[in-house]
C-alpha cells in the first residue's frame, strides 16, 4: 500500500510552517525512516497509553516502534499513562512534566505522543509548556484520533467546569496514522471513532457522506484501502479548514458540529466509561440536526438520514439511549455556558442547512434550546 501524505501549512510569525500527516499500513515498523529528520540525534520522551504495555501482542508493536527510533536517537525514555478521559487533568499533567524534566531534557528534546486522543492532548500540552515549548510528534492509535484530534494543534486538559477548558494551540511537527494499529481497538472504540468520520461529510462534503452510507460495513471490516481513504479524506478536510483559521476565530468552529451537546453529555457521565467521546459526539450531532430541522434550518429528511447512519453504525442517537445519565435540562444549559464558542454569554452552536453544509449559529435562543432539550430528555 502506498503511503498517503497530507501536508498542513500554516503561517507562523509571518513564515510558512508545515508538517506532514503520513497515512498507511505498518508505518510504525519504519518510523525511523519517516521521522529521521525530526528525531535524529535528539533526546526523545515517548508518552504512551499503558494499554500498549498490558497485552503481549500489542506490546510487540510498540516495542518495534521504540526499537526503530532508538537506533537514530541519543536516548529514549518512556512515560506510561492511562488513556481514559479521567487522565486529562492538572495533576496528571504535573506528573508528566516533572518526570520529563527528570530526564534532563533540553530545548532540542522531542516528545512523541503514542496513543489515542487523550494521550495526544495531554502530551501535546506538556510539550507546549515544557521549557516554554518543545517539539512533539503525534502517533494516534485510535480511529478518532487519526481522523480528528491528532491534527490541528489543539492540546489540553479538562477542568471541573468543562472539557478542554485548559490548553494551548501547539502544532505537531509530524503525524503518523498507521492503519494496522486500528485492529488493536475494541469494537466500541472503533465505532465511536466513526462518529467523527461522519462529521466530516456532514460539515463539508456531501459526496463523502454518500460514500460512507454505502461503505460503512466494509470500513467496520477493517478494509485497508477504505480506511486509508477515510483517514486521508478527513485529515485533508481538517487541514483545509485549519490552514485558513488555526485558532478558531471563524470557520474552524465548524469542526465542533455536535460537540457543544457532546461535551455536556460526557460531563454527566463523569468520564467513567458510561459514555465515551465518540458516542457523545454521535448523540450531539443527531441533536444538532434535530434542532436544525425543528427550527427550519434543514429538512427532516436529511435529519433522518443522519440518524439512520449512526443507528446502522450501532452508535447512540439520543439521550434516551444512555439511561444511566442523570441529565436535567437546566443543568445541561448551564454547562453550555462554559463552551469555548460562547461569546458575551451568548450561546453558539454549529447547525446545518443540509448534509455537507454546516454553519455557525450565534446567539441561539435559550428558550428554544430549553424547549428542545425537554423534548429530548
What is the pLDDT confidence band of residue 230, given thresholds at 50, 70 and 90?
Answer: very high
Residues 259 and 298 in one domain: yes
What is the pLDDT confidence band of residue 352, given thresholds at 50, 70 and 90?
Answer: very high
Residues 245 and 273 in one domain: yes
What is the pLDDT, as a whole number, of residue 72?
96
How many domains, in total, are found in the chain?
2
Mean pLDDT of 351-372: 95
263 near 289, Cβ under 8 Å?
no
Beta-bridge mates of residue 113: 47, 138
Task: From residue 225, give the alpha-carbon distance in Å to each of 22, 23, 44, 214, 232.
Answer: 14, 11, 32, 15, 10
137 near 224, Cβ under 8 Å?
no
Instruction: Indicate the residue among 162, 184, 206 that finishes a domain.
Output: 184
Mean pLDDT of 13-32: 90
Residues 109 and 157 in one domain: yes
Residues 237 and 359 in one domain: yes
Mean pLDDT of 109-127: 97
pTM (global) more than 0.85 = yes
Give the DSSP letter of residue 346: B
The H or E element that residue 195 is part of is helix 187-204
Beta-bridge mates of residue 81: 49
For the ranges 43-52, 79-88, 340-349, the lowest mean pLDDT is seen at 340-349
Residues 204 and 142 in one domain: no
Percent of the chain at pLDDT above 70? 98
Q: Which residues contact 130 (CB under 8 A, 6 or more apart)?
A: 97, 100, 101, 105, 111
Residues 333 and 205 in one domain: yes
pLDDT tens for residues 265-308? 998 887 888 899 999 999 999 999 999 999 999 999 999 999 99
Write the CATH number for 171: 3.40.50.1970
pLDDT tens for residues 80-107? 999 988 999 999 999 999 999 999 999 9
Residues 121 and 250 in one domain: no
Q: Is pLDDT of 14 > 70?
A: no
What is the pLDDT, as a whole number, of residue 12?
72
For the ranges 211-220, 256-265, 325-334, 336-345, the lowest mean pLDDT is seen at 336-345
Q: Is pLDDT of 233 > 80?
A: yes
Alpha carbon distance 321, 156 (integer Å): 29
Residues 163 and 256 in one domain: no
What is the pLDDT confidence band of residue 56, given thresholds at 50, 70 and 90?
Answer: low
Instruction: Indicate the residue among 158, 184, 210 that finishes a domain.
Output: 184
Q: Which domain holds residue 58?
A: 4-184
Q: What is the mean pLDDT of the chain?
A: 94
Residues 201 and 149 in one domain: no
**Residue written as grid cell 463523569:** 270
Residues 230 and 129 in one domain: no
What is the pLDDT, as a whole number, of residue 115?
95
Write the CATH number for 218: 1.20.1090.10
What is the pLDDT confidence band of residue 58, given thresholds at 50, 70 and 90?
Answer: low
Phi/psi at 25 (nearest 5 deg)? -105, 140
Residues 143 and 219 in one domain: no
What is the pLDDT confidence band of residue 149, given thresholds at 50, 70 and 90?
Answer: very high
Instruction: Indicate the residue among 152, 184, 216 that finishes a domain.
Output: 184
Higher pLDDT residue, 64 or 207? Answer: 207
Give the catalytic positions in this structure: 132, 154, 196, 238, 248, 252, 256, 259, 263, 277
Residues 97 and 242 in one domain: no
Amino acid at each position: 500500500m502506498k503511503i498517503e501524505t497530507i501536508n498542513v501549512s500554516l503561517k507562523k510569525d509571518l513564515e510558512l510552517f508545515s508538517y506532514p500527516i503520513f497515512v498507511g499500513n505498518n508505518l510504525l515498523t519504519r518510523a525511523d525512516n519517516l521521522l529521521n529528520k525530526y528525531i535524529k540525534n535528539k533526546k526523545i520522551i515517548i508518552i504512551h497509553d499503558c494499554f500498549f504495555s498490558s497485552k503481549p501482542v500489542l506490546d510487540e508493536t510498540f516495542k518495534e516502534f521504540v526499537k526503530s527510533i532508538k537506533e537514530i536517537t541519543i536516548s529514549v525514555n518512556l512515560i506510561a499513562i492511562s488513556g481514559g478521559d479521567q487522565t486529562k487533568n492538572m495533576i496528571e499533567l504535573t506528573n508528566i512534566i516533572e518526570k520529563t524534566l527528570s530526564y534532563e531534557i533540553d530545548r532540542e528534546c522531542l516528545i512523541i505522543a503514542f496513543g489515542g486522543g487523550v494521550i495526544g492532548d495531554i502530551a501535546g500540552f506538556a510539550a507546549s509548556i515544557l521549557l516554554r515549548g518543545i517539539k512533539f510528534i503525534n502517533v494516534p492509535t485510535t480511529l478518532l484520533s487519526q481522523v480528528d484530534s491528532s491534527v490541528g494543534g489543539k492540546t489540553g486538559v479538562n477542568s471541573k467546569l468543562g472539557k478542554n477548558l485548559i490548553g494551548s494551540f501547539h502544532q505537531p511537527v509530524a503525524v503518523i496514522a498507521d492503519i494496522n494499529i486500528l485492529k488493536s481497538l475494541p469494537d466500541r472504540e472503533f465505532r465511536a471513532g466513526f462518529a467523527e468520520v461522519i462529521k466530516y461529510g456532514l460539515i463539508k462534503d456531501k459526496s463523502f457522506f454518500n460514500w460512507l452510507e454505502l461503505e460503512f460495513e466494509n470500513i467496520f471490516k477493517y478494509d485497508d484501502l477504505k480506511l486509508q481513504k477515510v483517514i486521508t479524506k478527513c485529515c485533508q478536510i481538517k487541514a483545509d479548514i485549519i490552514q485558513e483559521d488555526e485558532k478558531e476565530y471563524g470557520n474552524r468552529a465548524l469542526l465542533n458540529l455536535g460537540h457543544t451537546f457532546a461535551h455536556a453529555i460526557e460531563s454527566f457521565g463523569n468520564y467513567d466509561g458510561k459514555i465515551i467521546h465518540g458516542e457523545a459526539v454521535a448523540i450531539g450531532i443527531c441533536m444538532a440536526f434535530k434542532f436544525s430541522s425543528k427550527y427550519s434550518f434543514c429538512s427532516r429528511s436529511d435529519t433522518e438520514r443522519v440518524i439512520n447512519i449512526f443507528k446502522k453504525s450501532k452508535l447512540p442517537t439520543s439521550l434516551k439511549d444512555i439511561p444511566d445519565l442523570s441529565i436535567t435540562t437546566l443543568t445541561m444549559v448551564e454547562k453550555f455556558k462554559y463552551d469555548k464558542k460562547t461569546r458575551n454569554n451568548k450561546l453558539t452552536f454549529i447547525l446545518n442547512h443540509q448534509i455537507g453544509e454546516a454553519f455557525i449559529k450565534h446567539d441561539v435562543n435559550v428558550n428554544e434550546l430549553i424547549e428542545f432539550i425537554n423534548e429530548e430528555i
